[in-house]
Amino acid sequence: MTKRPPVSIIGLGKLGACIAACFADKGFTVVGADVSARTVDLVNKGQAPVTEPGLAEMLQRAHSRLRATQDIADAVSSTEATLIVVPTPSTDEGGFTITYVLEAAKSIGRALRSKPAYHLVVLTSTVLPGSTEYGMIRVLEQESGKRCGKDFGVCYSPEFIALGQVIKDFLNPEFLLIGEYDERSGEKLAELYRGVVDNEPEVARMSLVNAELTKISVNAYVTMRISFANMVAALSEQLPGGDVDTVTSALGLDTRIGRRYLKGAVAYGGPCFPRDNQALAYLARQLGQRASLAEAVHDFNGSTNERLATRVLGMVPDGGSVAILGLSYKPDSNVIEESAGFLLAKSLVGSGASVTVHDPMAMDSARGVLGDQVVYASSVDEAITEKDVVVIMNPDRAYAGLDLAKVPESTMVVDAWRLLRKQAGDRPNYVGLGLGDDNQRLHKALAGMWTDPARARG
């Protein structure tokens, strides 16, 4: 078995804690560092500092190989490779700030000053092109008094993982993106990854700047696919018998397109897609260009949220009630950042309607923002009881199992993900987004297009 070098993880948040646990679970000796004394204490007790499926169990299994500290110098001096997993908040202009990255680099650099052995430093946080080479490396060299490529190595290697399935995605990546300062750095990181992942992914090795651009480009491209599917869904709703699932399934058969992210449902949200899309547009502006496509996708995504809010409000009678099922941006997550369900709840608050919300994991997150403006239901049944409108905003298992037979016909059910379409049949109180009605007002309009010669000629 190849010797597993000790690894340090700087930042034990939603991603860092999971990455540290994965390395430890695979037999690596791991030292995690975080500014939070509470986080450090929990990890040292073998307890999860964040909510993520599978993390608590993994930390218990790997407890003997993982320790945490608030001292970055201790973490670096005790290991051979360091992964920086700290926040890079978005700026008002759409870029990223690397303040936390540079703070971590200062501490790492000081630790490297007195360390004779070669050390690999890996930045995983999302940054703009140029940040690693002209930001982090300069600080590392200044603080250590050493030279990158000679005394220490540097890679930029972001993770393509989704909250709610971080461990699964980290251990089974579709591909590994490695931006390397030099070949030695890249090879050491590739070897490190080979010791932790469960599959055999393709490895894309390239320069630092190309890897940085690749990261935001991947997510920006995915937002475009989501928005395209949502556009098709909006069109399908206006066509008699229109069915977005039928259309997108056929699109996915074309190998030039594929099936991924062509569902047609709610606007994209979460901590990565919106900001990476905006970052690509920001980068273009800084370079004197226009990322018009990214900008259009961002605008369309916002209009998707607005259109749904208007539609739901139109179904709620004056002083009526609405239940929103699903506040997190995806199942198995408590993150409500930019999520369609959470934004819908915010839009309906103050409309005069009584708003009840439910989510399997995100209720505490919502309480921290919405306060007492909404009613928090402890169960799905409680949420939908005696409501004028019920809106399913998240494809969670809890909502896929909803029995429509128990919902009175006086309650409109808006199903953004069409989870219940098979059992819905021709129920008049069921509205599946992306599904047209044979009685749509456009039925006559479409027929008229082919019977009126003037309109047919356009």
Beta-carbon contacts of 156 under 8 Å, excluding residues fewer than 6 positions away, are 122, 123, 124, 127, 132, 178, 179, 208, 211, 212
In this structure, are residues 230 and 304 in contact, taking their beta carbons and an 8 Å threshold? yes
- Compute the half-sphere exposure of residue 112: CA atoms within 13 Å on the CB side of its CA: 29
90: which strand partners?
Answer: 96
Q: What angle do CA 19, 175, 81 make, to 5 degrees?
A: 40
The dihedrals phi and psi of 410, each to the nearest 5 degrees, come to -75, -10
Tokens 């978005």 correspond to what residue? 90
272 is catalytic: yes
In this structure, are residues 126 and 96 in contact, taking their beta carbons and an 8 Å threshold? yes
- Compute the half-sphere exposure of residue 294: CA atoms within 13 Å on the CB side of its CA: 23
Strand 81-84 and strand 119-123: pairing? parallel
Residues labelled as active-site residues: 272
